[in-house]
Chains A and B, each alone.
Chain A
Amino acid sequence: MTHLKAINRKAGRVVCYLDDREKNNDVVALQQPPHFPIGCSLVFSPGWEADRTGGTAGLCQPVERDIFDCHIGCFWPAHVPDHLNHAHDWTAKCASAQKDWRKLELVFP
């Protein structure tokens, strides 16, 4: 710290914590503020979330629809509807993901 000077004991502990984090080579790449996970969540990607147990029941979107983002924007191979052969109109009703994500239909092979 060059600009801020810790005055009380709690501030001293904050500085210790920050120093310690630096010294111990904490992984910071993904923590650089603003902290967004890299990848799909850079864009609006409904259903990406999981609850604190890792489950998806009761979330805003069923897990089956969690593939929307993989379908378009992601470099990572994933199971998505084959929009060239079988499901070419899968996103037809979804002009804007923010507004229309509920209109994405389930696709069965």
Chain B
Amino acid sequence: MITLAPREFHMFNGGGREFLYLVPSAAIFALDEATAAVLHVVIDASRSEDDIVRTLADRFDPSTTKTAITELLQVRAMGYEQQPEERPARVLPMTPFPLTTMVLNVTNQCNLACTYCYEYGEDKIVDTEHGKQSKFMSEATARDSVEFLLKESGRVAHLTFFGGETLLNFPVLRSTIAYARQRAAEVGKDIDFSLTTNATLLRPEIIEFLAENRVGVTISIDGPRDLQDKFRVFHNGAGSYDVVAPKIKELLHRHRTRPIGARVTLTSDTLDITRIYRHLTEEIGFWEVGFAPVTTTPNQKYAIGERGFDRMLDQFRGLAQEFLENVVVNRHHGFSNVKDTIEEIHKGVSKAYPCGAGLGLLGVSTDGDVALCHRFAGSDAHKLGSVREGIDRAAQDTFLQQHHIADKTDCSRCWARPLCSGGCYHEAHVRYGTTRRPNLHYCEWIRGWTDTCLQIYGELSERNPAFLARFDVEEASAEAVL
């Protein structure tokens, strides 16, 4: 007997309605009573079509049940049990793939000594003290990098400055922006700039420069004084909060040409997320705050364990709910984690790779070596060429061959894989010693968080669909200049 069985999806509720997140297409459909009833029947046990019609006869007439079944089959929420499930083909991206973002590590030195830092702590990949790399990027290398970016990019290029502490090499940063602007105009491309800094070196003339040049700024900060000073300390052990707080306030006051965001590293000791969020938005004045768990091996005391991830999820859920209540009435809310995920959900992103590293995004080390991303900059094992010689296509191809989601067997039955795709390469490298492994230590957290974002998305689609339509408008204007 031919029977119907569920295919891959995740059901969720939002605003009192049932939704379906289809895997791997990442399409979202709202269910009506009939389709929801049919799915609940087949989830229970695979049944023949007649059997389903009979089971639901007291609730729906046969023609209703049958059209519901047809639609669920068409969108592949169900399939015939006897028919093998279609797996999407393992398609590698076409290369050369346009480079969208280049992260320039203008220095590998830092004036802080944050104890959890992946660049200098026990988990570091590159020896920045005694290694072969120069400690600061030269102007010549920065210019070569700009040429490389403009050669490899499409119509729009993003140049991000990173470190170490980025502002330790402000002279090169300043001259590179001027040079890149001029060269982009000459070759007819659009370029924009951003940087990440710990804010210790901000001073009026730098702030003025950043505002005038519309440089996007992300500040690494962990929250109020007691939390910031736990890990983000100077080399002598002194906390950095009192140094950075007034400088950040001045930056926020003066720099109005781009929204300024805070980026918080969460550890097992600093999981006071709601308090951090309140402090950074209400007291300091950040437009957006994003959180990321610290990257570390599990044996560090500050590593977030299973219970820590639960605590994190609870508070993320609270803030996500707050985000929802605000955007429903068209008020801004700065919890960027939820906004970013909702945008991906809205577009129906289904990833073959967890991020753009090695494809649309590359990191450049101080001596001009090109790597997967800024976290691998300077690592010979993760090198993909150099700004002078160009992208090593063979190495890039090997990388793409080895990291496709189709080869991550652990992920093959996970409903969250269209968005997660195994997670951060650097995180995996630190945890498991290879970029190829999926990050199995936070699967539950990813699924929990994705489910929350789906619920928020579902509810938003009912209560304020115009908010979601903004993502389309933003993208349409972005595409117009591509």
Q: Hey, which bits of chain A sit against chain B, CB under 8 A? A: 1-11, 13-14, 18, 33-35
Residue of A nearest to B14 (CB): A7
Minimum CB–CB distance from B23 to chain A (whole Å) comes to 11
Whether the pair B458, A7 counts as a contact (CB closer than 8 A) is yes
Whether the pair B29, A6 counts as a contact (CB closer than 8 A) is yes
Contact of B31 among A2, A4, A18 (CB under 8 A): A4
Whether the pair B19, A7 counts as a contact (CB closer than 8 A) is yes
Give 7 A-B pairs besides A4-B71, A8-B346, A8-B457 with Cβ atoms closer than 8 angstroms: A4-B72, A4-B75, A6-B27, A8-B348, A14-B25, A14-B27, A35-B83
Binding site of B, secondary structure by majority: helix, strand, loop or mixed? mixed
Whether the pair B80, A33 counts as a contact (CB closer than 8 A) is yes
Instruction: State which residues 428-482 of B face A: CB under 8 Å.
Output: 457-458, 461, 472
Query: Known interface pairs A7-B461, A11-B348. Does A34 touch B27 (Cβ–Cβ under 8 Å)?
Result: no
Minimum CB–CB distance from A17 to chain B (whole Å) comes to 10
Give the chain A neighbours of B82 by CB distance below 8 A. Answer: 34
Question: Within 8 Å of chain A (Cβ to Cβ): is B233?
Answer: no
Whether the pair A5, B30 counts as a contact (CB closer than 8 A) is yes
Instruction: State which residues 64-84 of B face A: CB under 8 Å.
Output: 67-68, 71-75, 79-80, 82-83
Whether the pair B35, A4 counts as a contact (CB closer than 8 A) is yes
Give the chain A neighbours of B458 by CB distance below 8 A. Answer: 7
Give A13 to B75 CA distance when docked, in angstroms.
11
Give A14 to B348 CA distance when docked, in angstroms.
11
Give A11 to B32 CA distance when docked, in angstroms.
15
In the A-B complex, the 7 residue pairs with the smallest Cβ-Cβ separation, listed nearest first, are A10-B348, A11-B27, A10-B27, A34-B80, A5-B30, A4-B29, A7-B28
Question: Within 8 Å of chain A (Cβ to Cβ): is B99?
Answer: no
Contact of B71 among A2, A8, A9, A33 (CB under 8 A): A2
Give the chain A neighbours of B472 by CB distance below 8 A. Answer: 9
Residue of B nearest to A4 (CB): B29
Whether the pair A3, B83 counts as a contact (CB closer than 8 A) is no
Contact of B2 among A9, A11, A14, A34 (CB under 8 A): A34
Give A11 to B29 CA distance when docked, in angstroms.
6
Give the chain B neighbours of A2 by CB distance below 8 A. Answer: 67, 71
Give A6 to B31 CA distance when docked, in angstroms.
9
Give A14 to B67 CA distance when docked, in angstroms.
17
Give A18 to B348 CA distance when docked, in angstroms.
17
Instruction: State which residues 409-432 of B face A: CB under 8 Å.
Output: none
Chain B 168-180 per-residue mask, 1 if CB under 8 angstroms from chain A, else 0:
0000000000000
Give the chain B neighbours of A33 by CB distance below 8 A. Answer: 73, 79-80, 83
Residue of B nearest to A35 (CB): B83
7 inter-chain pairs at a CB distance below 8 angstroms, sorted by A residue, are A1-B71, A4-B71, A9-B348, A11-B348, A13-B27, A14-B75, A33-B83
Q: Which residue among A4, A7, A11, A35 has the maximum number of chain B CB atoms within 10 Å of its CB?
A: A7
Question: Within 8 Å of chain A (Cβ to Cβ): is B260?
Answer: no
Residue of A nearest to B472 (CB): A9
Chain B 1-34 per-residue mask, 1 if CB under 8 angstroms from chain A, else 0:
0100000000000000001101001111111101
Question: Within 8 Å of chain A (Cβ to Cβ): is B347?
Answer: yes
Give A58 to B22 CA distance when docked, in angstroms.
37
Question: Within 8 Å of chain A (Cβ to Cβ): is B100?
Answer: no
Contact of B350 among A4, A10, A11, A35 (CB under 8 A): A10
Residue of A nearest to B36 (CB): A3
Whether the pair A8, B67 counts as a contact (CB closer than 8 A) is no
Give A10 to B26 CA distance when docked, in angstroms.
7
Q: Which residue among B22, B27, B31, B350 has the maximum number of chain A CB atoms within 10 Å of its CB?
A: B27
Residue of B nearest to A34 (CB): B80
Give A33 to B32 CA distance when docked, in angstroms.
23
